[in-house]
Amino acid sequence: MKLIVGLGNPGKTYSRTRHNVGFRVIEELLKYEGSSLTEREKLFEFNRLSINGQEVIVAKPTIFMNESGRAVRSMIAQFRAKPEVCLVVVDDVNLPLGKIRFRLRGSSGSHNGLESVISALGTTIFPRLRIGVGKPDSCENDLSEFVLGPFTEREKDLLKPQIEKARDACREWVKEG
């Protein structure tokens, strides 16, 4: 069994923000598989899928990004999994818009959601798929305001095919590990 967890913030207010790209990848994966999130626990909602003949738990935390480590730890415990089989999908301001980067381990890269996961799991050894959301042109802009803001129309057009590529990368990870 493998887990795929998209990080983001719950609620309609945040649904289309840069910080919720992880949620969008999960939604795209579920749509592709003809499914939805049907089960709910205290800290996350999920569904069981079969992808390439393998059981996969696809999930989104129901708590805010900066606390998402608690949800990921809860999922891993509930499904008796190891961090190494839990793919975390997350936005990244240090990557250009739409660029996708896969890593088997690493630091948080100053991402509070990943920092929360690392802290809760007590390890940096878990796979992560980072999706670039770009960075504001000026360093004077508040980064949290930027990631909690919506994409421009131009950015939405550029991002859509990248969300699909991220979905395919998740499916490939299930197949190849």
Q: Check: CB of residue 17 under 8 Å from CB of residue 149.
A: yes
Q: Which residues contact 139 (CB under 8 A, 6 or more apart)?
A: none
19 is catalytic: yes
Q: Which residues contact 95 (CB under 8 A, 6 or more apart)?
A: 101, 130, 131, 132, 133, 134
Catalytic member of 2, 19, 24, 130: 19
Quickly list H helices, the chain.
Answer: 21-32, 68-78, 112-121, 143-147, 153-176
Q: How far apart are CA 3 and CA 57, in angstroms?
A: 5
List residues with catalytic annotation.
19
